[in-house]
Every structure is written in structure tokens, then in C-alpha cells.
Amino acid sequence: MDSRPSTRGTAYHPHGGFTENSLWPDNGYKQRAMSPTLRLSRTTWRWYWVLLLTNAMDLLFTYTAVERGFEEWNPLLRPFLLTAWPVALKGTAFLVLGYGLWQLMQRPRSARRISVMIQSTAMMYLAVIAIHLVGLFLLRAV
């Protein structure tokens, strides 16, 4: 049996006794606030991954719709849709975009504009995914 007292709302710290209402022991370490540049960089990279995933979902939903009898609306993509080219082009584009982001995020003056560009493009693709989902839902209802 443990000889330490059990008190609700406190946490036991082995070197410093109890700390009031704490999940972590108070060891004197003060967490520094994240710099605005680092926060912007993390936000931009998170939106980059959202953009990557929504692009992949767009391609998968397009394949699903074409498989169910719909036509591709993009006249440039239509002849190449059921080949490996769309996947290869999107993969290459995202590798180049990722490298470009990495290079441009080194310049704090352009970081804000880049972040807005990535976010707005990702939101556009989220809208495209919503349109795909509505279309697939309506197709299923028929």
C-alpha cells in the first residue's frame, strides 16, 4: 500500500511533493510561446496535407463516378482519366509544391501570402469533395 496521501485535485511529484490542481509536476519549466513564424509554418504545412488528401479524394471520387456511368467534366483530363497519368501528374505536382513551400517558407515576408494561397486552394478542394459526396449520395438514392 502506498503511504502517500490521496487528495483529490492534487498531483504527486516525487521530488517536490504535491502540486495543486496540476496534471504535470511543477518543475520550474515555463513553456515558451510559439513564435508567429513557426505557427504560420505549421499552419501552412497542415493545410498542405489537407490539400494533398482532398486532391487524392477528388481523384478517387472521380474514378467512382466514371465507373458508375458519369462523364469527366474536365475536357483536358477526359482522354487520360483511366491511365496512370493523373496520379503521376498530381504526385509530381505535390512534390514540386512541397519543395517550393519549403523554400518559400524560409522568407518570412512571403510566408503569409503562401499560407493564404494554400488554405484557399485546400478549401476549394473541400468544396469539390462536398460536391462529389452530394453527387454520390444522389446517385445512390436513384
pLDDT of residue 67: 86
C-alpha cell read off for 133: 459526396
pLDDT computed for residue 103 by the predictor: 83
DSSP conformation class of 119: H
State the pLDDT at residue 113: 84
Domain that holds residue 124: 36-141
* 24 and 54 within one domain: no
**Same domain for 57 and 16:** no
Percentages helix, strand, coil for the chain (3-state, rounded to 5) are: 65, 5, 30
Q: How many domains are contained in the chain?
A: 2
- Taking the CA of residue 72 as centre, how many other CA atoms within 13 Å lie in the half-sphere pointing to its CB? 18
What is the model's pTM?
0.66
Low-confidence ranges of the chain (pLDDT < 70): 1-39, 141-142
Give the whole-angstrom CA distance, residue 22 versus residue 12: 9
Identify whether residues 26 and 42 lie together within a single domain.
Answer: no
Three-class DSSP category at 12: strand
Residue 121 φ/ψ, nearest 5 degrees: -65, -40
Same-domain status, 124 and 80: yes
Give the Cα separation of 37 and 112 in Å (integer).
9
23 and 72 in a common domain: no
What pLDDT, on a 0 to 100 scale, did the predictor assign at position 94?
Answer: 92
43 in the same domain as 8: no
The pLDDT value given to residue 88:
93
Judgement on whether residues 22 and 41 belong to the same structural domain of the protein: no
